[in-house]
Amino acid sequence: MSMTEPAFFVLTALVDRPLHGYGIVQEVEELSGGRVRMKVGTLYGVLDRLAADELVVLDREEVQQGRLRRYYRLTDAGARALQAEAARLAANVRSATERLSARFGDASIARGTA
């Protein structure tokens, strides 16, 4: 089963360390090269689904400047799901690249000029 692009990037953002909501939003935007820009409502919807699937868990809560920050972390199941999705996407890229190489030749694919 494939996952949404926002879910993929949220899991990727949490690989190295727990992050709070705004940190996740920033990391997702950076990881996606600015293609995925999450609003807070969207983020928490994604986090709720990932938590329900036990792919992320609440790590801790901290109060900073009078505001509650919730930090989330990737579970082992989340890391395995991310690994499986990355492998699925890589296989898709290989299939497309092979077919495009056959059509246009390897050099044009490598240069992105097909």
Q: What is the CATH number of the domain that holds 31?
A: 1.10.10.10
Judged against a pLDDT cut of 80, whether residue 114 lies above it is answered with: no
- pLDDT confidence bin for 101, thresholds 50/70/90: confident
**84: containing domain:** 5-111
pLDDT of residue 105: 75
* pLDDT one-digit tens code per residue, 11-54: 999 999 999 999 999 999 999 999 999 998 899 999 999 999 99
**What's the mean pLDDT in 74-96?**
96
Separation between Cα atoms, residue 74 and residue 34, nearest integer Å: 22
Judged against a pLDDT cut of 60, whether residue 94 lies above it is answered with: yes
pLDDT of residue 55: 98
Judged against a pLDDT cut of 90, whether residue 107 lies above it is answered with: no
pLDDT of residue 90: 95
As for how many domains the chain has, the answer is: 1
**Model pTM?**
0.86
Find out whether 19 and 27 touch, Cβ atoms under 8 Å.
yes
Return the exposure string of 17-38: e unless at least 16 CB atoms fall within 10 Å of the residue's CB, then b. Answer: ebbbbebbbebbbebbeeebeb
Q: Which residue has the higher pLDDT, 106 or 107?
A: 106
